[in-house]
C-alpha cells in the first residue's frame, strides 16, 4: 500500500486552557506503532515543527506536535519569547503538567502503541521533553535539539524512565560548556541512560533554515549539523523502540 499522510489539528486541554496540537501519521500503515511527541521552539507551534512532525510520520511514526502556549499562540518578538518561556521554565511543574497533557493527547491518537512513546524538541521544546523525562514520564526516549539543559528541579535518582539523547551546538552561546557539564553531572547522579553529542561550529537553532543570524548572531542554521542530528535521532529511536 502506498504512502498516505493524514494530518489534522487536535484540540486538547491543560486544565481550562485550550491547546491546538497537530497530528500526522501514515494511513497506509496497519497495526500499532510508536508515537512521538514534538515540542516547539519559543516562537510557538509553527512551520518548522509542523514540517518535522510530518517528517516523523514519513518515517512510520504517529507524530503529535504539542501546543505549549495554548490556542496555537505565535510569538514574533524576542522579548515576548523570553517572557513566555521564562515563566514556564521558572515553574517546572507547570511546564511538566502542560507537556503531560500533550503526551496524553498523543497516546490517544489512532494507531499509537501507548507503550512505545518518545519525544523530541527544538530549543525551548528540547527543554520541554527533558523536563518530561526528569518527571518520570512513560517515555522510551527523548531527543533534545539545541535545547536548554538547565532546570530548577533536577532529576531524582531512579525516577527517569526515558533514554536521553542531547544534540547541541559546540559553539552555542545560549548553551555554554558549563551548562552541558552540569547536565551530565545531573544525569549521572540520577542514574540516567544518556548521551550528549556536540556539533562543531554549530550555534543555537541549527536545525531551522529560517535562522539566519538576523535576530541574534548566535541563532543560525547549519545544514551539516541539521542533517547529522536528524540521522542521530533516527538511529536512536530505531534502537529504543526495537522489540
Tens digits of residue pLDDT in 10-44: 999 999 999 999 999 998 888 999 999 999 999 99
For 181-236, how does the pLDDT look when each residue is reduced to its tens digit (9 = 90+)? 999 999 999 999 999 999 999 999 999 999 999 988 899 999 999 999 999 999 99
Which of 35-73 are b and which e, b meaning 16 or more Cβ less than 10 Å from the residue's Cβ?
A: bbbbbbbbbbbbebbbebbbebbeeebbbbbbbbbeeee
Instruction: Identify the pLDDT of residue 1.
Output: 44
Instruction: Identify the pLDDT of residue 216.
Output: 86
Distance CA 39, CA 54 (A): 13
For 143-186, how does the pLDDT look when each residue is reduced to its tens digit (9 = 90+)? 999 999 999 999 999 999 999 999 999 999 999 999 999 999 99
> Into how many domains does the chain fold?
1
Domain that holds residue 139: 5-240
Q: How high is the mean pLDDT of the chain? A: 95
Distance CA 105, CA 11 (A): 9
CATH number at residue 17: 3.40.50.1820
Amino acid at each position: 500500500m502506498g504512502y498516505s499522510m493524514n494530518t489534522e489539528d487536535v484540540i486538547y486541554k491543560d486544565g481550562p486552557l485550550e491547546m491546538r496540537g497537530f497530528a500526522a501519521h501514515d494511513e497506509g500503515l496497519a497495526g500499532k506503532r510508536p508515537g512521538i511527541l514534538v515540542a516547539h521552539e519559543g516562537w510557538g507551534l509553527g512551520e518548522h515543527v509542523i514540517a518535522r512532525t510530518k517528517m516523523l510520520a514519513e518515517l512510520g511514526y504517529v507524530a503529535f506536535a504539542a501546543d505549549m502556549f495554548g490556542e496555537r499562540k505565535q510569538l514574533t518578538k524576542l522579548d515576548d519569547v523570553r517572557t513566555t518561556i521564562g515563566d514556564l521554565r521558572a515553574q517546572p511543574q507547570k511546564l511538566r503538567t502542560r507537556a503531560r497533557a500533550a503526551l496524553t493527547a498523543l497516546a490517544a491518537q489512532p494507531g499509537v502503541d501507548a507503550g512505545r512513546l518518545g519525544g523530541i524538541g527544538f530549543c525551548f521544546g528540547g527543554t520541554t521533553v527533558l523536563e518530561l523525562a526528569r518527571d518520570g514520564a512513560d517515555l522510551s526516549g527523548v531527543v533534545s535539539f539545541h535545547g536548554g539543559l538547565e532546570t530548577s528541579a533536577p532529576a531524582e535518582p531512579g525516577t527517569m524512565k526515558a533514554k536521553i539523547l542531547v544534540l547541541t551546538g559546540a559553539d552555542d552561546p545560549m548553551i555554554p560548556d558549563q551548562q552541558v557539564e552540569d547536565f551530565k553531572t545531573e544525569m549521572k547522579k540520577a542514574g540516567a541512560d544518556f548521551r550528549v553529542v556536540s556539533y562543531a561550529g554549530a550555534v543555537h537553532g541549527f536545525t531551522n533554515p529560517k535562522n539566519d543570524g538576523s535576530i541574534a548572531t548566535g541563532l543560525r542554521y547549519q545544514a551539516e549539523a541539521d542533517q547529522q542530528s536528524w540521522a542521530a535521532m533516527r538511529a536512536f529511536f530505531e534502537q529504543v523502540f526495537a522489540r
